[in-house]
């Protein structure tokens, strides 16, 4: 995949990006994955995903980057973590998507490990919609506020996915306030709003 598939006009100063996409918008996953990556070589990727397997998650990033990331870490459910193969991804299990403290601690630990490493660090949180099924909006808001601040502090960039069709307008607008940029695909065109 070449860089032309990236979403255009996301400012380099944006350390946190909210991607609004419906659950059925899978064909654009590669473009979304390249949203924050300027140079695919040396990228370190940390993720939060409770769907699929760690191997499938890593395969998706390898396809997105055109090769394996320099390092990869995934926070996922305990069951999925116990079934992880030795594929090069460090897998951390948490008992439930409701364990935002555990998720945050695992991500923070990995970010600390990578802080002095060369190359870009990208954190991808899939999906805020799922996390909202297990947590109140206020709790998730506090978690994201701390996480986005941590990303900025260590020079990492984060992309967070939310299905706007699954939430009321107030919820979507509340979460938008946490991010440096909001990306949305409407009528086959990209729209990027940044602050």
> pLDDT grade, residue 18 (50/70/90)?
very high
Q: Is the pLDDT of residue 160 over 90?
A: yes
C-alpha triplet 144, 69, 194: angle, nearest 5°: 40
Residue 147 lies in a domain: yes
Domain contains 148: yes
Preceding peptide of 127 cis, ω within 30°: yes
- 116 assigned to some structural domain: yes
What CA–CA distance (Å, rounded) separates 164 from 171? 9
Whether 81 and 91 have beta carbons less than 8 Å apart is answered as: yes
Sign of CA dihedral 104, 107, 113, 118: negative
Count of structural domains, the chain:
1
49 located within any domain: yes
Distance between CA atoms of residues 183 and 161, nearest Å:
10
Q: Is residue 26 part of a domain?
A: no
Work out the pLDDT band at 84, boundaries 50, 70, 90.
low
Does a structural domain hold residue 75?
yes
> How far, in Å, are 70, 114, 145, 175, 189 from residue 44 at the CA level?
5, 8, 22, 26, 29
Gap between the Cα atoms of 136 and 193, Å rounded: 26
CA–CA separation, 68 vs 180, rounded Å? 28
- Say if 176 falls within a structural domain: no
pLDDT (0 to 100) of residue 89: 87
| Domain CATH code at residue 63 | 3.40.50
Q: Which residue has the higher pLDDT, 83 or 11?
A: 11
> What residues make up the domain containing 91?
42-161
Whether 57 is in a domain gets the answer: yes
Q: Poorest-confidence range of 28-37, 49-58, 109-118, 145-154?
A: 28-37
Worst-scoring range by mean pLDDT, 61-65, 110-114, 132-136, 140-144? 61-65
């Amino acid at each position: 995949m070449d860089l032309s598939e990236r979403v255009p006009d996301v400012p380099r100063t944006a350390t946190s990006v909210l991607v609004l996409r419906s659950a059925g918008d899978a064909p654009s996953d590669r473009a979304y994955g390249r949203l924050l990556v300027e140079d695919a070589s040396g990228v370190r990727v940390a993720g939060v995903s409770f769907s699929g397997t760690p191997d499938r998650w890593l395969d998706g990033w390898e396809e997105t980057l055109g090769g394996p990331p320099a390092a990869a870490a995934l926070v996922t459910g305990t069951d999925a973590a116990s079934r992880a193969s030795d594929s090069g991804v460090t897998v951390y299990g948490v008992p439930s998507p409701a364990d935002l403290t555990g998720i945050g601690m695992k991500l923070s630990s990995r970010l600390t490990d990578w802080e002095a490493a060369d190359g870009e660090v990208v954190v991808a949180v899939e999906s805020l919609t799922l996390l909202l099924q297990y947590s109140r909006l206020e709790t998730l808001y506090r978690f994201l506020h701390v996480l986005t601040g941590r990303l900025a502090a260590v020079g990492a960039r984060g992309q967070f996915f939310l299905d706007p069709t699954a939430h009321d307008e107030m919820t979507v607008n509340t979460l938008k306030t946490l991010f440096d940029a909001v990306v949305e695909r409407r009528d086959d065109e990209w729209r990027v709003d940044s602050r």
